[in-house]
Chains A and B, each alone.
Chain A
Amino acid sequence: MDQDSYRMLRENVDEFCARNVEPVSLKMEREGMASDLAKKSGTQGFNAAIAAQSNGGSALDRESYLTILERAARSSPSFAMFLLMQNSIAGRILEAAGKTGEIGEIASGAKTATVEFLSLNESSSAEYSINVSNGKATGKLRNVIFPSADLIVFLHQDSLYLARGSDGTEPLPVLGFRGLGLGDVVFRDRPVEKLSENGGAKLIMDALKNAGREVSAVALGITGRSVDMAVEYSRVRKTFGRPLKDYEPVAFQLAGFKAQEEELRSMIFFSSVQDGYIKPLATDLARRATKIALQVHGGYGYLEDFGVEKFYRDSMTLSIYFGPSRSDMRNLSREVYGEESGVI
């Protein structure tokens, strides 16, 4: 696509979010994502943005997809995470498994999907208690992002399975991406379909690894919007008779974050720098920027109504869910040293 096309796409996503996401953003944080948003998003081609057209997808190039994620994260990181899950995680795995019908359903928003992948994170010690036999699953999947999704992909003894729905969910305390939630998923003799015989863990890990730039795009959106909100607030909020923006620490910090945001944008969209190098910078920047953005808002920043605290929660959650984990950093160290390093 040419630059005009990217600009039009950006405007299209912004318009969609202004009309359909912003008005329900707070409600989404409190009550979870409504199913009609998935359908509306489906009509725009966002839910299967990178899937093949023959499977019902939009077959967009990576830059377009990254643009969608970044702009969506500016309105609602939960919505961006939903798109990331549909496209980069569940979508990729289902498409690789040949589940073209399901991709079509995801594309239209008729169905939503999730993949249980936090159990593969080395910081997770949740006991795995699923039993699969004769095509039926019984037990509990722990720490599932978006546990209420219609299609649930999970790992059992290195095989991947697909469950349509569940027999209940048990919500967990959830710091971020509250629109999707976090919880345990219960199966009781739930019919499941095997997606892959072996190598299931690798399929999931590959999907996660290949989503490094996409995670960075979400972090970029979180950074950009929270800093913009702080900039706007600091123009109108006065203290000691002067707007906050007139004070050096406020202006310099926010200006510095805008500079870093632009630097990150260049890396994500216009550089050949590897994903593994970008993600640690992106998630770190999002965490630092959102903390300052909240601080600039003072007491008002602490209230959900002002919409800035969610970025603070989501940036932290993004770095826990997607890293950089210690294994990411070990991979990065291996790149730098050309051999195993950071193992003690």
Chain B
Amino acid sequence: MDFDFTEEQVKFREKAREFAEREFSSEVARKFDREEKYPEEIRKKAYAEHVIDYSDPWKVLIAIEELCRQDAGLGISATVPYFGEEVIMLFGSDHLKEKYLQPVNEGKSLMGLAVTEPGGGSDVAGLKTTARKEGKNYIINGAKMFITNGSIADFFVMLVRTSEEEKRHHGLSAFVVESRFPGFKANKLKGKLGVRATDTAELELNNVVVPEENLIGEEGKGFYYIMTFFNISRIFVAGQGIGIAQGAFDRALSILRRKGKAYSEKEEIQFAVAEMATQIQAARLITYKAASYLFNFKPDPTITSMAKKYAAETAVFVAEKALEVTGVDGISSDLERFYRDAKILEIWEGTSEVEKLIISRNILKEAQ
């Protein structure tokens, strides 16, 4: 068991942190939060400066952590252009990889994952958007909700129903759907509580014609592909949680230092500092454990769900605690944004309740 990162990874962390501190100033973060605008230029810069490096998944996790530590809205925006890429990478044809992933990996296009629907979130297998086969095409009808990169992505990995007859989750398939296809419409959702720089949209799909070669893998296997993806992406969401928690903690410490010893050395404050630091450290350890299993090709969905749940709750806990200990100074600072940003982590990519179900079901199954 080795708790140290390689020298290269340590240097990469410094580079990611330097990038975030330089590009995500308080003023910039507040501006994008206020205007609810996707930071396209920052995304391009992050790509150009190799802050996102897919050659090493640890570097992706480190980048997410460090960027979200400075600002979650900007950090997630800069690290999410590839969202859903693993589905094509693992299960897509060479044609799809070449046509769609190459431009994404070259920073020339953006993608997204479209699973959630207006009437269903946690119940993925209950989705209602349909794809009907007609000759060499599929015709997609339905709607998707809360889709990250929804109004800016060039294409989406989309989960839809291809069969009503099969058991619920066996009737689902995944497709690549381009936003320029006729019948595709995106409505940007405004007025989010937090992560307001990220792009979120509702998608309308009205007789969208998708060529059959855009089917990812096999028909009827979509649910399995997406669940596999979630077991990967949840680790990166845990990374967002560590980043937000650490960022809130950094700011709390900075405010406490400014307030001086008379204030920060009271035991009530000291205990809060210790609780925050301990929980962040624990969240980091479980996330790195889950990541280590995954990156060594032996993923453990139970540990992954524990990491996602715990890191998300840590982000919410630390942001709240940071506001408590810094009071008026904290609430009129960037900390208030961390408090708003943190809450989404308990909702997206599997709510904390869904993670608890996965954890308990797996443990109970093993115990039988």
Contact assessment for B328 and A124 in the assembled complex, using a CB-CB cutoff below 8 Å:
yes
Tell me the bound Cα distance from A302 to B341 in angstroms: 10
For the side of the interface on A, what is the size category?
Answer: 35 or more
Q: How far is the CB of B100 from chain A (nearest CB, A)?
A: 26
Interfacial chain A residues near B351, Cβ < 8 Å:
295, 298
Interface residue stretch chosen among B45-53, B70-78, B288-296, B319-327? B319-327
Taking a contact as CB atoms under 8 Å apart, the answer to whether A298 and B347 are in contact is yes
Q: Does A261 contact B (CB under 8 A)?
A: no
Chain A residues with CB under 8 A of B330 = 123, 320
CB of B266 within 8 A of CB of A302, answer: no
The 5 closest A-B pairs by CB, nearest first: A123-B327, A304-B191, A175-B336, A124-B328, A309-B193
User: CA–CA, A316 to B337, complex, Å?
Assistant: 13
- Residue of chain A at shortest CB distance from B328: A124
7 examples of A-B residue contacts, CB within 8 angstroms = A174-B336, A239-B126, A295-B353, A302-B192, A302-B194, A303-B193, A316-B323
- Whether B221 is near chain A, meaning CB under 8 Å from some CB there, is no
Determine if A4 is an interface residue (Cβ-Cβ < 8 Å): no
Tell whether, in the assembled complex, residue A126 and residue B347 are in contact, meaning their CB atoms are under 8 Å apart. Answer: no
**Would B347 and A299 count as touching, CB distance under 8 A?**
yes
A240 located at the interface, meaning its Cβ lies under 8 Å from any Cβ of chain B in the complex: yes
Closest chain A CB from B274 CB (angstroms): 16
Which chain B residues (328-349) contact chain A, with CB distance < 8 Å?
328-334, 336-337, 339-340, 343-344, 346-348
- Of A143, A172, A312, A326, the residue contacting B343 (CB under 8 A) is A312
- A344–B329 contact, CB under 8 A? no
Q: Are B194 and A316 in contact (CB under 8 A)?
A: no
- Whether A312 lies near B123 (C-beta < 8 A) is no
B350 to chain A, nearest CB (A): 11
- Which residues in chain A, 116-161, are within 8 Å of chain B measured between CB atoms? 118, 121-126, 143
CB distance from B70 to the nearest CB of A (A): 16
Other A-B pairs, 5, CB within 8 Å; known A301-B347, A303-B191: A143-B332, A173-B334, A238-B120, A299-B145, A302-B347
Q: Which of B258, B327, B352 contacts A325 (CB 8 A)?
A: B327
Q: Is B4 an interface residue (CB 8 A)?
A: no
CB of A305 within 8 Å of the partner chain: yes
Closest to B320 in A: A316
Closest chain B residue to A30 by CB distance? B191
A338 within 8 A of B: no
The residue on B at minimum CB distance from A329 is B268
Question: Which A residues fall within an 8 A CB radius of B?
Answer: 30, 118, 121-126, 143, 172-175, 182, 238-241, 249, 287, 291, 294-295, 298-299, 301-305, 309, 312-313, 316-317, 319-321, 325-326, 342, 344
- With A249-B353, A303-B191 already in contact, the answer to whether A294 and B331 are too (CB < 8 A) is no
Closest residue of chain B to A298, judged by CB? B121
**Shortest Cβ distance from residue B333 to the other chain A in the assembled complex, whole angstroms:** 7
User: Considering only CB atoms, which chain B residue lies closest to A124 in the complex?
Assistant: B328
Q: Min CB distance, B42 to chain A, in Å?
A: 20
Q: Residue among B192, B193, B194, B326 with the most chain A CB within 10 A?
A: B193
Considering the chains assembled together, what is the distance between the CA atoms of A30 and B145 in angstroms?
23
Asked if B105 lies at the interface with its beta carbon under 8 angstroms from chain A, I say no
Task: State in angstroms the CA–CA spacing of A241 and B320 once bound together.
Answer: 34
Contact of A118 with B328 at beta-carbon distance under 8 Å, contacts A313-B340, A326-B266 already known? yes
Report how far A313 CA is from B319 CA in the complex, Å. Answer: 12
Q: CB-CB < 8 A to A312: which residues of B? A: 193, 343
Q: How far is the CA of A325 from the CA of B268 in the complex (A)?
A: 11
Indicate if the CB atoms of A126 and B329 lie closer than 8 Å: yes
Distance of A298 Cα from B353 Cα, bound (Å):
11
Contact yes or no, B327 A240, CB < 8 A: no
Q: A326 and B268: CB pair below 8 A?
A: yes
Whether A241 contacts B189 in the complex (CB less than 8 A), given A143-B332, A312-B343, comes out as no
Which chain A residues border B336 with CB–CB below 8 Å? 173-175
Residue of B nearest to A237 (CB): B119
- Which residue of chain B is the closest to A249 with respect to CB atoms? B353
On chain B, the residues within 8 Å of A287 by CB distance are 320
Report the bound CA distance from A182 to B328 in whole Å: 11
Q: A143-B328, A295-B351 are in contact. Are A125 and B259 (CB under 8 A)?
A: yes
A81 to chain B, nearest CB (A): 14
B343 CB contacts on chain A under 8 angstroms: 291, 294, 302, 312
